[in-house]
Structure 1
Amino acid sequence: MQLPKGATVAVADGEKFNLYRNAGDEAELKLTALAHDPVNADHQGSTPGRHGSSANPDGGQDKEDGFSAGVVDLLNKKVLAGDISALLVIAAPRTLGAIRPQYHARLSAVLVGEIAKDLTGHSLQDVQKAIATA
């Protein structure tokens, strides 16, 4: 996959979130880390009615859902503020499924792609390789 110069790359799972910008061009990807506001993990989870149960007694999934909702809220706000003009989302498959329905229409309009892969905690080179081979 080729990313335009200045494109933003969001890498997320249910606990971690990183933002990068393509400082290179479409022919040569060069990601640089971007600072971002902390993710508000207090959001209501994306799965209505899901709460701790015997299958999930500690509510861990509720925490991940809340974090995922916080990630998409932050991305929506950045897009609406004009801070993101092209966006690639790389997320663990479950996280991607949770955030996709919450994309604002303007976020969907600037979305250049999605990669369903958990790359949080991986090196920047691993992220760049995943993008190059997508």
Structure 2
Amino acid sequence: MKIPARTLVVVADGGGARVFRNVGDEQYLMLKQEELLEVMNVNDDGPAGSMPPEASGEEIDEATFAKQLAHNLNAGALKHQYDHLVLMADPQTLGQMRPQLHKETTARMLAEIGKNLTNAPLEDIERALQNGKAQGT
């Protein structure tokens, strides 16, 4: 998979996200971490959509984080902070985020990767991106 220079690469799960920027180019991917995001103000901001009554506190926190992350990505797209986006997250987090993503965000998305590499070394993330294990949007 070719990832243009300056592409935003977000690697997330229900509890946090690592935000990278490709400081290389399409030929030579080189990710540089810009941010580390975690769940914030869970009590002030509920989950996306409805949750089943048997949902655990952890599941509610994960859904809330997915919503917060989607809103951050939407704000970045609307402020033109990135032109291209690759979103890598576990399938559950991706599913919680999709309905929350603005059309400006999805228009910038090069690919979604349904894989949890949030705690993986940078080399593993780069390898997954280069191997093209992604679904285009």
> Structure 2 length normalisation: TM-score?
0.88
**Judging changes above 3 Å, is the alpha-carbon distance between structure 1 residues 107 and 94 closer, same or farther for their aligned structure 2 residues?**
same
Task: Report if aligned partners of 1:39, 1:74 keep a CA contact under 8 Å in 2.
Answer: no
Tell me the number of residue pairs that the alignment of Structure 1 and Structure 2 aligns. Answer: 130
Decide which of 107, 110, 113 is 1:109's aligned counterpart: 107
Question: Is residue 90 of structure 2 the alignment partner of residue 79 of structure 1?
Answer: no
Question: Is residue 15 of structure 2 the alignment partner of residue 15 of structure 1?
Answer: yes
RMSD: 1.6
Shift of 1:86: 0.5
> Structure 1 length normalisation: TM-score?
0.89
Tell me the amino acid that sits aligned with residue 72 of structure 1. A
Note the alpha carbon deviations across 1:48-98, whole angstroms, 9 max, x for none.
Answer: 1x1552xx4x42111110011111111111111111110000001100011
**Unaligned segments of structure 1, at least 5 residues:** none
**Judging changes above 3 Å, is the alpha-carbon distance between structure 1 residues 60 and 97 closer, same or farther for their aligned structure 2 residues?**
same
Shift of 1:101: 1.1
Identity in percent: 31
**Judging changes above 3 Å, is the alpha-carbon distance between structure 1 residues 84 and 39 closer, same or farther for their aligned structure 2 residues?**
farther
Aligned partner of 1:32 in structure 2 is 32
Aligned partner of 2:135 in structure 1 is none
Task: Report if aligned partners of 2:16, 2:38 keep a CA contact under 8 Å in 1.
Answer: no
Task: Report if aligned partners of 1:69, 1:99 keep a CA contact under 8 Å in 2.
Answer: yes
Q: How far, CA to CA, are the matches of 1:36 and 1:121 in structure 2?
A: 11
Q: How far, CA to CA, are the matches of 2:74 and 2:40 in structure 1?
A: 13
Shift of 1:35: 3.0
